[in-house]
Amino acid sequence: MSPPQRLSDGQHRLIDRIRVPMHRLFGRTRSNQSLRDLLERIDQGVVAIGRDLEVSTANTAACRLLGAERLAAGDPLPEPWPAFPLRRFAAELFEPQAVGRTVRVSPGAGRSLAVTGLPAGRQGSAVLVIADHSELERLESADRDFVIDAAHELRTPVAAISSAVAVLQGGAKDTPDERDRFLEIVERQAARLGHLAHALLVLARAETGGGSLSLVPVHVPSLLEDLVVDLQTRERVEVEVSCPPDLRVLGDPDLLEQIVSNLAVNAAKHTERGRIKIVGRRLSDELAAVEVVDTGAGIPEPERERVFERFFRGEGSEGFGLGLSIVRQAVGALGGSVEIVPGGAGGTIVRVELRAAPASGGMLAGGS
């Protein structure tokens, strides 16, 4: 439970304006069918109680949010949450100097409720309004995560562009071959920024429910070919690719690029032989897999699931612990799965399973 949150002056004025007419309406609920109908149409739970903490009126939403099968007139106000004394909170609404206030309650299972108490007036009844803020808080959390993810992912291409510009300013611009090489890096990383921005926006929409992804067939060998050039230049690691020439998966091209890129960069940081391997293969008519293999020390079994948690870093790891978290979110948005399996001769294999696309078809993303 969070500490009680005082209402603003504006909320107090609103409460003062609605309290008396609401109490009057509740006083006539036994004969006021229209009020009952009105209360049944709202998502918030509404409960009117007397000084004895017995229910005068409650709508169906209140029963659901309070975990009660029914709340009839004369029933005692329930005590549904061990961590929050609802009856004591309600009793305080009858004190002479009581003011309206709101508390946040977390009943568990990721739920978040806001319980607002309207103090008893001359009418003798207090009112509890219970709102389920779980979805709102999930969306707010997704927004915060998006900002963190964006900042994390933008660091690499921005740093690469900055480094290339610094080298050019340091004299490389005067040598045609060097100038062209570093300008190519700037061009490639600028394009990567565009792909990254699209991927993050697609992921944000998927996480917040702002729209379903439009999945298209993506030619995996072409996707990997483009990534290898960037990885070998940026990470200075040898990348071996093994993939059937006709392998295609259903996905979003930019999102898939971020998935494989994050996995490959993570593998490059932990490999011990300066070499990683990316394997694409068809598992069945409906399923395909992309695996990224490193030759590092491997991941202890207790950490294999936790490495996908936001900000989790294994022993000896550097960075902010976001790359694999982003991978899991992106794979989930594509309807796939990701897991870590131990390498046969040490190291780690990260396997991403996605829906396979037909081996041939029309226009394809990521090459033809």
Asked if 29 contacts 48 with a C-beta cutoff of 8 angstroms, the reply is yes
Express each pLDDT in 225-261 by its tens digit.
888 877 776 667 788 999 999 999 999 888 898 889 8
Instruction: Decide if pLDDT at 3 tops 50.
Output: no
Of 135, 159, 193, which one is at a domain's C-terminal end?
Answer: 135
pLDDT, mean over the chain? 78
**Mean pLDDT, residues 164-187:** 87
Both 263 and 282 in one domain: the answer is yes
105 Cβ neighbours under 8 A, 6+ residues apart: 1, 2, 81, 83, 84, 112, 113, 114, 115
Those residues whose C-beta lies under 8 Å from the C-beta of residue 23, and which sit 6 or more positions away, are 48, 120, 121, 123, 124, 125, 127
Q: Which residue has the higher pLDDT, 271 or 288?
A: 288
What percent of the chain is predicted at pLDDT more than 70?
Answer: 72
pLDDT for position 275:
83
Q: What is the pLDDT of residue 360?
A: 60
Q: Does the residue 159 lie in any domain? A: yes
Q: What is the mean pLDDT of residues 281-285?
A: 94
Q: What is the CATH number of the domain that holds 345?
A: 3.30.565.10
- Mean pLDDT for the stretch of residues 106-112: 79
The more confidently predicted of residues 305 and 72 is 72
User: Is the pLDDT assigned to residue 214 strictly greater than 60?
Assistant: yes
The enclosing domain of 92 has a CATH number of 3.30.450.20
- Tokens read off for 253: 């091209």
Q: Could you tell me which residue, 301 or 21, shows the higher pLDDT?
A: 301
Are 228 and 322 in the same domain? yes
**Segment 316-329 mean pLDDT:** 61
My answer on whether 96 and 142 are in the same domain is no
Quote the pTM value: 0.50
Q: Are 81 and 189 part of one and the same domain?
A: no
pLDDT band at 314 (very low <50, low <70, confident <90, very high): low
Domain that holds residue 55: 9-135
